[in-house]
Amino acid sequence: MATDAELLTDREARLLVHRAGGTPVYVYSRAALRHAVRRVRAASVPAGGVYYSLKANPHAGVVSCLSTLVDGFDVCSLAELETALNAGMPPERVLFTGPAKSRQEAAAALAAAVAVTIESRAQARLFAGVAREIGVAGRAVIRLNTPYPGRTAGAVPAPNHFGVPADDLTDVVDILRRSPMSIIGLHLFWGSQYAYAGLIQAARRAAVERAAKVATEFDLALELVSIGGGIALPWCDGDPPVDWQGLAAPAFARDPLGSATVVCEYGRSIVGPAGGLLTTVLDTKTVDARRYVLVDAGMNHVLIASRLVAGSHRGEPSVRVVDPRDPGVTSPACVTGPLCSQLDVLADGVPLPAVEIGDTLLFSRVGAYGPSFSPSGFLSRDKVREVVF
């Protein structure tokens, strides 16, 4: 299997462009997905479960592949819920999350018999009322408000609006206990895009210890404790690498939680390395000694590579030429999309060999937060293709 940095061989890339009927096209590797799941499982809580968060990439082919590799799915919308269930994931292994669910979402989730996160007193009342109205006994997972740890030693944790504040927890438990809902778990999500093993392990320990304390205080018989994932996707050349070896070392005992299943939920660290974007060169030019390569993919297809996300201290995305004519001779190039926007810069100053109109470029490690995260309606362009191979 190709490595993260080289998702495809040149031959595979050419054939996938033909299969898709042209570019731009996202390509997702099943072999790379299998490798990524094995890697995050080895870096997770020992004997814990691995859930995949569909928000990172809800493509039906990706989700179908992952349904046989992970232990459950995390969904955030009715469309994601249907994708998860249609992929064959049992409802008891689907968790519907989100800070402010509508009545329609509450009814759909309860009717589907999936677990739901409760994130406030008002949301507890909503789900309690809907459960009574439609005549079901729902499965509630209380999300606890959890500050996000700083990314460097000594940094102040970042506040957020997710989950039940500590002062409201007693009320939320009381509301749910007076309803058809059963409190089956706790959710302590503490952030994303962390690379350092010590920080991730400390956050996991804190989550497990806090969950055990809450379970004892409120006499909760927990089936599930979800403690987030947090593992980064280093897709720009300035991003620090993930300390996979450090994460593989057991860091704490989960004994305080008894028989509860501890779940780590991942998105970008699973699907990110498994995806690439193939795009065709439409033009080349030199302006004031600056070399430009213009391609048919834009920030409307891959927002994470635009100047809104990449560049600055993060560096540039990984991009290479498929079948280069003279790979040994490179020069800095600015890769831009076809849009009428100065933000439509996908890679700046990256070393590329000479290219001509019609050549193909491959952006690697862009399997997460691609089409569904990008402003596809901008300038009314065609949507990007997606292929699973």
Q: Are residues 106 and 238 in the same domain?
A: yes
Instruction: Report d(CA 369, CA 291) in Å as an integer.
Output: 28
The residue from 218, 240, 266 where one domain ends is 266
Confidence at residue 5, expressed as pLDDT on a 0 to 100 scale: 43
Instruction: Check pLDDT > 90 for residue 7.
Output: no
CATH number assigned to the domain comprising residue 103? 3.20.20.10
Q: How far apart are the first and last CA of the chain?
A: 12
Q: Are residues 246 and 342 in the same domain?
A: no
Amino acid at 330: T
What is the four-CA torsion angle of 204, 209, 213, 219, rounded to 10 degrees? 70
Q: Pick the range with the lowest mean pLDDT from 56-60, 158-162, 306-310.
A: 306-310
Q: Read off the pLDDT of residues 261-280 as tens digits, 9 standing for 90 and up.
A: 999 999 999 999 999 999 99
In the chain, DSSP finds a helix count (H) and a strand count (E) of 10, 16
Instruction: Report d(CA 296, CA 23) in Å as an integer.
Output: 7
Name the residue with tokens 């060999």.
Answer: 353
Per the domain annotation, does 29 fall within a domain? Answer: no
Confidence at residue 255, expressed as pLDDT on a 0 to 100 scale: 66
Q: Are residues 294 and 192 in the same domain?
A: no
> What b/e readout covers 288-323, taking b as 16+ CB neighbours within 10 angstroms?
eeebebbbbbbbbbbbbbbeebbbeeebbbbbbbbe
Number of compact structural domains in the chain: 2
The residue from 266, 291, 316 where one domain ends is 266
Across 230-344, where does the E strand assignment appear?
261-266, 275-287, 290-295, 319-322, 330-336
Q: Are residues 248 and 285 in the same domain?
A: no
Instruction: Report d(CA 282, CA 358) in Å as an integer.
Output: 6
Per the domain annotation, does 359 fall within a domain? Answer: yes
Q: Are residues 120 and 195 in the same domain?
A: yes
Per the domain annotation, does 375 fall within a domain? Answer: yes
How would residue 312 be classed by pLDDT, with cut points 50, 70 and 90? confident
Q: Mean pLDDT over all residues of the chain? A: 94
Q: Are residues 132 and 227 in the same domain?
A: yes
- 74 close to 109: Cβ distance less than 8 angstroms: no
Q: Are residues 210 and 96 in the same domain?
A: yes
Instruction: Check pLDDT > 50 for residue 92.
Output: yes
Instruction: Check pLDDT > 80 for residue 3.
Output: no
CATH number assigned to the domain comprising residue 308? 2.40.37.10
How would residue 1 be classed by pLDDT, with cut points 50, 70 and 90? very low
Q: Are residues 277 and 384 in the same domain?
A: yes
How would residue 2 be classed by pLDDT, with cut points 50, 70 and 90? very low
C-alpha gyration radius of the chain: 22
Residue-number span of the structural domain to which 240 is assigned: 90-266
Q: Are residues 299 and 210 in the same domain?
A: no
Quote the DSSP letter at residue 226. Answer: E
Q: Read off the pLDDT of residues 44-85 as tens digits, 9 standing for 90 and up.
A: 998 899 999 999 999 999 999 999 999 999 999 999 999 999
Per the domain annotation, does 21 fall within a domain? Answer: no
Instruction: Report d(CA 271, CA 17) in Å as an integer.
Output: 20
Q: Where are the alpha helices (DSSP H) in the chain?
A: 10-20, 30-42, 60-66, 78-86, 103-111, 121-134, 169-177, 197-218, 244-248, 268-271
Per the domain annotation, does 284 fall within a domain? Answer: yes
pTM comes to 0.95
The residue from 216, 250, 266 where one domain ends is 266
Per the domain annotation, does 383 fall within a domain? Answer: yes
Q: Pick the range with the lowest mean pLDDT from 121-125, 136-140, 246-250, 384-388.
A: 246-250
Token duo for residue 195: 């690379």
Q: Are residues 365 and 227 in the same domain?
A: no
Q: Are residues 174 and 300 in the same domain?
A: no
CB neighbours (10 Å) of residue 9?
Answer: 11
Q: Are residues 374 and 241 in the same domain?
A: no
